[in-house]
């Protein structure tokens, strides 16, 4: 493993593409040959080319690349019991929530503004509120405008699937490479409990007839996408007591029809959201229930576990939303695209990724060599780049990894209110953070004070900044080996 060439976080904070270019040209290897070793061994080259800079379709890519959503297609052809498209709160983060709806021209302006400033940007998605395939003219106009200005951006849509089959050929022609279908059931009797109505073929359907049509269209759309080589992810909302056990069946059906990933997400439900489920008191699963269920699905369709249930106007790395920096009132009326930062950033990432990949391989070999079986749940504070580079008090989420002799894998995240407010820790917040970290053995962060460390320890969680700025997997493997060995000095640093 070579020494880290440069810190990604310092690069992404720079305002000049010149600094990025300097970093890209530093180092001792030709960047065109780099970035290749991070491809998973079980993935072919063609698929890797499609996912290697898509933060949702590759867990590895989400440490480096960002997506943005534009809310241009507000009309919807179904009603989901977990959705209220009128609800808008800038602090709320869940699908369907958005602060401003855009015309295709406004969306283009916003995409250019983000692309000029956020070097990690690689994907433009249309993900509600509304349905991208039903409100098709606006979806199409937006993608055409953006693709003509920024040809290397990946185009991605999320849809309920009802109007999908009629647009699959256009999606392929327009080079829309990634599609997500939300599939919550394959049995209309279950679907009836989730969808009160659909609008299809100029008429409204309710009850089991509605769910049956939706199911048939979803399966047809998925098969058509797979036939055309468009990568498909299936999102399923896990609703305890309604479809949770049924999602095992969903996982089988979508695997058989070529889904690349299955993303089981927790229902987000509160009365204040004004949704049918929220008002009815329907609860969502907690983090441990979600993980236990995802573990049961292992071996079926490949799971996505790093979804952050983004807002429909999200901007930035998953888990670090910058949407509020790019509202229309902050964007000049006229601006030209400048791809300098994005291109330079990619060159830097290609090299850093190889270094990270080598560190990961070494880490996996380390955990495999430990003889005593057992697993470790580790929560990591990170700002991206695959490193432990966030202070405990600043973390808005912790990424959770599970280490065992079979490897080190990302298994989820826990959202928290940051502990530190204006330089001081908040005891009340710390209580909430400890509750959110239920089941975690260790917390790894770049810095942590004695006081939160002590309180975490009292709750049975060991926290350390001894591995600050190391690669995540390297630190976890060292912890794992130490826990099962005799030297525990690193655990108390």
Q: Which residues bind ligand SF4 (CB under 6 A)?
A: 76, 78-80, 83, 85, 96, 128-131, 160
Residue 487: how many other CB atoms lie within 10 Å: 8
Distances (CA, A) of 231 to 31, 73, 205, 219: 27, 22, 30, 15
Our CB check for ligand CLF shows the closer of 65 and 392 to be 65
Which of 76, 310, 359, 476 binds ligand CLF (CB under 6 A)? It is 310
Alpha-carbon dihedral of residues 422, 461, 294, 87, nearest 10 degrees? -20
Name 428's Cβ contacts closer than 8 Å, sequence gap at least 6: none
Q: Which x/- pattern over 93-112 shows residues binding ligand CLF (rule: CB under 6 A)?
A: --x-----------------
Residues 230-249 that bind ligand CLF (CB under 6 A): 233
C-alpha radius of gyration, the chain, whole number? 22
Question: Minimum Å distance from CB 32 to ligand SF4?
Answer: 41
Question: Minimum Å distance from CB 433 to ligand SF4?
Answer: 30
Distances (CA, A) of 262 to 46, 250, 256, 315: 20, 9, 12, 23
Q: Is 56 among the residues that bind ligand CLF (CB under 6 A)? A: yes
Residue 415 to residue 437: CA distance in whole angstroms:
9
Residue 319 to residue 397: CA distance in whole angstroms:
7
363 binds, among ligand CLF, ligand SF4, none (CB under 5 to 8 A by kind): none
Total residues interacting with ligand CLF, rule: CB under 6 A: 18
Q: Is 452 among the residues that bind ligand CLF (CB under 6 A)? A: no
Residue 303 to residue 301: CA distance in whole angstroms:
6
Name 151's Cβ contacts closer than 8 Å, sequence gap at least 6: none
Token pair 């400033």: residue: 117
Q: Which stretch binds ligand CLF (CB under 6 A): 7-15, 120-128, 139-147, 206-214?
A: 120-128
Instruction: Tell me the residue number closest to ligand SF4, measured at CB.
Output: 83
Residue 350 to residue 469: CA distance in whole angstroms:
19
Q: Is 308 among the residues that bind ligand CLF (CB under 6 A)? A: yes
Our CB check for ligand CLF shows the closer of 188 and 316 to be 316
Q: Is 350 among the residues that bind ligand CLF (CB under 6 A)? A: no
Q: Is 67 among the residues that bind ligand CLF (CB under 6 A)? A: yes
Q: Write out the residues near ligand CLF by the rule CB under 6 A.
A: 56, 67, 69, 95, 123, 125, 127, 156, 158, 178, 180, 233, 263, 307-310, 318
């Amino acid at each position: 493993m070579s020494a880290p060439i440069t810190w990604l976080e310092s690069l992404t904070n720079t305002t000049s593409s010149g600094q990025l270019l300097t970093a890209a040209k530093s180092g001792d290897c030709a960047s065109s040959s780099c970035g290749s070793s991070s491809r998973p061994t079980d993935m072919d080259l063609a698929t890797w080319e499609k996912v290697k800079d898509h933060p949702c379709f590759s867990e590895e890519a989400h440490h480096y690349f960002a997506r943005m959503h534009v809310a241009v297609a507000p009309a919807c052809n179904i009603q989901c019991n977990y959705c209220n498209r009128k609800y808008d709160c800038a602090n709320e983060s869940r699908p369907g929530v958005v602060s401003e709806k855009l015309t295709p021209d406004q969306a283009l302006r916003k995409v250019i503004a983000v692309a000029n400033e956020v070097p990690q940007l690689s994907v433009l998605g249309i993900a509600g509120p509304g349905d991208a395939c039903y409100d098709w003219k606006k979806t199409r106009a937006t993608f055409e405008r953006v693709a003509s200005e920024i040809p290397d951006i990946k185009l991605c849509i999320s849809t309920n699937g009802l109007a999908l089959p009629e647009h699959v050929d256009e999606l392929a022609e327009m080079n829309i490479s990634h599609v997500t279908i939300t599939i919550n059931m394959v049995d209309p009797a279950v679907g009836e409990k989730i969808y009160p109505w659909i609008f299809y073929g100029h008429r409204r359907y309710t009850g089991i007839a509605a769910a049956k049509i939706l199911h048939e269209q979803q399966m047809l759309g998925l098969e058509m996408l797979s036939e055309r080589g468009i990568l498909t992810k299936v999102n399923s909302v896990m609703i305890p007591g309604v479809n949770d056990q049924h999602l095992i069946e969903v996982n089988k059906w979508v695997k058989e029809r070529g889904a690349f990933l299955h993303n089981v997400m927790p229902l987000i439900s509160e009365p204040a959201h004004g949704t049918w489920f929220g008002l009815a008191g329907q609860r969502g699963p907690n983090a441990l229930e979600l993980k236990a269920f995802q573990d049961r699905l292992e071996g079926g369709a490949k799971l996505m576990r790093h979804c952050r249930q983004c807002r429909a106007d999200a901007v930035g790395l998953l888990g670090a939303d910058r949407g509020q920096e790019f509202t229309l009132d902050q964007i000049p009326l006229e601006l030209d695209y400048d791809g300098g930062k994005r291109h330079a950033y990619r060159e830097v990432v290609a090299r850093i990724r190889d270094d990270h990949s080598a560190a990961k391989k070494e880490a996996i070999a380390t955990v495999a060599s430990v003889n005593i079986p057992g697993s470790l749940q580790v929560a990591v504070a990170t700002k991206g780049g695959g490193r432990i580079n966030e202070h405990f008090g600043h973390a808005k989420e912790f990424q959770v990894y599970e280490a065992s002799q079979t490897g080190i894998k990302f298994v989820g995240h826990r959202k928290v209110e940051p502990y530190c407010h204006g330089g001081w820790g908040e005891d009340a917040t710390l209580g909430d953070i400890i509750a959110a970290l239920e089941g975690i053995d260790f917390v790894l962060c770049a810095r942590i004070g004695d006081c939160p460390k002590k309180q975490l320890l009292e709750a049975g969680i060991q926290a350390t900044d001894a591995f600050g700025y190391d690669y995540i997997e390297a630190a976890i493997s060292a912890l794992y080996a130490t826990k099962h060995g005799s030297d525990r000095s690193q655990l108390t640093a």
